[in-house]
Amino acid sequence: MSEKIDRRKKYTKMVLKESLVDLLKEKPISSVTVKELCELADINRSTFYSHYADPYDLLATISEEVMLDMNHHLNEYHCGKEEALHMTEKIMEYIADRSDICQVLLSGHGDVTFKKRIMELAKTHILEKWIDQYKLRGKLSPYIPLMIVSGAIDAIESWLVGGKKESPAEMAVLIYQFTNHGLGGLRKASQT
């Protein structure tokens, strides 16, 4: 009996998350009501309130799950030269597989702190290791990692909004080449 209840709870939470993402494609979180969320998910309000306090609570849960999942994926790599491109490609595949959620979270309709949290995660896992690997600590302005990470995140957001015309592998090469070789790296990548 308890297994059936657990499956029902998981299903309810999944439907609520999907419904919120669908609503956030059309309007900001501040305009989402519990009533319309419940109607779209085909559940009653008391069921919603048994899981979440309000739509913001549900959005925070979604955001936190994505952050934890990305952190888990990034921890699988050491970010050395050999793994950097592979890791970037895996992250792009992750984003492509969850494009609806990622697009909403990066947009102005979703969690306004998500982009900043992703930037901190990327700086911690990728750029800090990259700076140490190339022995650039103290030589880089603190603005350079910010420019690289925010530029990559904005490019990913644009890629999602544009319908993912390039493959995750192509986007990974673009980000990898720019991060490691600047504009010259992009020229090399376009010639291959």
Cα–Cα distance measured from residue 95 to residue 104, given in angstroms and rounded to the nearest whole number: 12
> Which contacts of 56-61 are long-range, i.e. CB under 8 A and separated by 24 or more positions?
56/29, 58/16, 58/17, 58/20, 59/20, 59/24, 59/29, 59/110, 59/111, 60/111, 61/17
Q: What is the pTM of this model?
A: 0.81
Distance between the two ends of the chain, CA-based, in angstroms?
58
Q: What is the pLDDT of residues 6-57, one digit of tens each?
A: 888 999 999 999 999 999 999 999 999 999 999 999 999 999 999 999 999 9
Instruction: Name the nearest CA neighbour of 66 among 17, 109, 19.
Output: 17
Q: What is the pLDDT of residues 134-167, one digit of tens each?
A: 555 565 666 777 788 888 889 999 999 999 999 9
